[in-house]
Structure 1
Amino acid sequence: MAPATALTADQIRAARRDAPTPRARDFAESLGLAEAQLLAAHQGHGATRITAHPDRLMPAVEGLGEVMALTRMAGCVHEKIGRYGNYQSGDHACMVLNGVIDLRLFPRHWVHGFAVEEMTDTGPRRSLQVFDAAGDAVHKIHLRDRSDHAAWAGLVAELALSDAPDTLVPDARAAPEAAKLRTDRAEDLRTGWDRLTDTHQFLMMVARLKMNRLGAYRLAGAPYARALAPSAMAALLDRLAQGALPVMIFVGNPGCIQIHSGPIRRIEGMGPWLNVLDPGFNLHLRGDHVAELWEVHKPTRRGPVTSVEAFNAQGRILCQIFGTHKPQDRMAEFADLVAGLPARAAEVPA
């Protein structure tokens, strides 16, 4: 096989026909390609380039009825079944917020879009897939048996780009940002933390101090943040399921954050994966990718908020699990549960 940079669209399609089983992302990586390059090579062969902007895509998706929304980053996948609706546009950030599908969208990362149709033994498998400038997945929408498949052709025709090429040149991936902290601003950090009235103020506060989320957690110390044993993530999921405690689970990438709200019930480990396998919601987390796990407390107008946040070895956030004040306030139960999780045995380096 020629080097990936020299592969033609025909060669990529031929390689895929010879290896149809691996997931698209894994197969693309095996060829040294971004996932979006693999789909671009199938333009006119099961894939159609479409507009990626959420202002066009999100309203169109409402006509598909029940679908599966999927948002991932390396090591964590969040899947939610429901209907799209109540899309709210914005220059910097957009939202889908309807009680089931709960998304925060950042349009500048919605660069490449595809409508994908694959024939299987049980019929066509259809999805809409959006990628960033580096060709990495931002958000995917998978049709299900109960989706309105009759609306598919019209939707694709409405969103299709004319004269779309079967090649794609991705931008270089942004390097992960390591923990940023300033020991000389530790007291400023704690003072600002005490003054928070909303969790959304936190990132703006740490940015003003020339830090980032992980750096602030490492620097602040108790009672603001406590380093947990990375293995405690499995115990947390098990205890949440046992108590049917409602939580909010966030998974995202630079272009999309997807949120589940409610209890979780069925937890299953499969090799390194920690899985929530509930009707309407699945979470797949690589437990061996959790390099740092933090218990975090922030003040708000409604009372203190507790979260557990997992980071990988590169400092990227894998997922966040928050206690909730609504529909009924069970934040204290969540905080007590988290307080019983084991601390990290060794100090996290500042």
Structure 2
Amino acid sequence: MNDLTPARLRELKRDATVRPYDLAAQLGLSEAALVEAELGYGATRIDPTLARLIPAVQKLGEVMALTRNRSCVIEKIGTYNEFHDGEHAAMTLDAEIDMRMFPRHWAHAYAVEAAGADGSRRSVQVFDAAGGAVHKVHLRAGSDLDAWAELVRELALPDQAGMSDFASRTGPEGARMSEGQAETLREEWAKMTDTHQFNTLVRRLKMNRLGAYRVAGTPFAEPLSVEAVPALLERVQAEGQKVMFFVGNMGCIEIHSGPIRTLKPMGPWLNVLDDRFNLHLRADHVAEVWLVDKPTTRGPAISIEAFDEMGTLIFQCFGMRSDRGGDPDAWARLTRSLPAAGEA
């Protein structure tokens, strides 16, 4: 599509009635390419290195943190606190903005300023090597604009011209199973003392998360009906349960810890519209739901996990621990009450 010059892309963005994510898909481009069309017109290419970027974002004060995958968007309002860097994984640990970040996927980043109906809109937008969105930070009315100016000035990269050569996007992995390792998987699963041991276990057995659930079966992983997803949100809200809701992609996982107060279904979307927490979930993308039970030294870690038709994880939901205000027994009862696979 040679006619899609930066000028033409800017024009299409101005006239678009859909979000940039959807416009990019319609045009067969990466979302980052739409941002790069604005270089010199409000967008600045900045350093995506976490050790520089996240401390600069923290100085902005209160912002909105957004992480998404194809089927789910999570938005949390707060401040980026307690940043811990790492070569393979980094994190922010805050009651509101709680994230796990994987640096190798933070390939492109931009500071974006655009005119809006209510004034200038400012954001930091991070993308992977293929130009897919990893994480976004949206400034709010009370954000520190001096810190924003400093972020743009200090993190701007020398190259502010030319479009990036984005990598080709790899397809979804799907469920990777190793039926011959079923007995070993179940034996090792039963011996786990921490949920983080699960990823190491399935990698060693040449499987992935969904593949392991299918192989392990009851009592470790039980398939539920896709109707378990709206039922989960409704019952968490009705019972006032405190949960940990994980939404992410390969580069970033964002976590909501606490209750769900306001549910607003709209078409295929299941929406949580709380004061400082929003969730937008495409229920029609859910193809598999699993009730998963992993042993830990603190007791069982029970989760509800949803996957799309390509085997990609959409979300995970855990009950909060009792030392953080949760009720593990009530959470266990709630999860067992959800409709099983095959139930109407």
RMSD across aligned positions (CA): 1.2
Match of 2:29 among 28, 33, 50: 33
Structure 2's unaligned 5+ residue stretches are none
Match of 1:8 among 5, 25, 29: 5
Match of 2:291 among 284, 291, 295: 295
| 2:19 equivalent to 1:23 | yes
TM-score between both structures, scaled by the size of structure 2: 0.97
Greater alpha carbon shift after TM alignment, 22-31 vs 122-131? 22-31
TM-score between both structures, scaled by the size of structure 1: 0.95
Match of 2:174 among 155, 173, 178: 178
2-side partners of 1:329 and 1:35: how far apart?
38
1-side partners of 2:21 and 2:255: how far apart?
23
| 2:192 equivalent to 1:227 | no
Deviations 1:243-291 (A, max 9, x none): 1111100001010010111111111101000111111111111000000
| 2:273 equivalent to 1:269 | no
- Superposed structure 1 runs of 4+ greater than 3 Å apart: none
Greater alpha carbon shift after TM alignment, 6-15 vs 30-39? 6-15
The aligned residue for residue 322 of structure 1 is: 318
Greater alpha carbon shift after TM alignment, 106-115 vs 180-189? 180-189
1-side partners of 2:36 and 2:43: how far apart?
7
What are the residue-to-residue correspondences of 1:83-122 with 2, within 5 Å? 83-122=79-118
| 2:126 equivalent to 1:130 | yes
1-side partners of 2:252 and 2:37: how far apart?
25
Structure 1's unaligned 5+ residue stretches are none
2-side partners of 1:240 and 1:196: how far apart?
27
Partners of 1:71 and 1:78 within 8 A in 2: yes
Partners of 1:41 and 1:166 within 8 A in 2: no
1-side partners of 2:36 and 2:338: how far apart?
46
2-side partners of 1:272 and 1:328: how far apart?
32
2-side partners of 1:217 and 1:16: how far apart?
42
2-side partners of 1:86 and 1:148: how far apart?
19
The aligned residue for residue 78 of structure 2 is: 82
| 2:192 equivalent to 1:191 | no
Report how far residue 295 of structure 1 moved: 0.3
Partners of 1:88 and 1:94 within 8 A in 2: yes
2-side partners of 1:180 and 1:104: how far apart?
24
Q: How many residues align?
A: 342
Deviations 1:100-156 (A, max 9, x none): 210101001001001111112211011000000000000000001121223322221
Residue type at the aligned position of 1:275: N
Describe the shift of the 1:329–1:14 C-alpha distance in structure 2 as closer, same or farther (beyond 3 A): closer
2-side partners of 1:29 and 1:168: how far apart?
18
The aligned residue for residue 275 of structure 2 is: 279
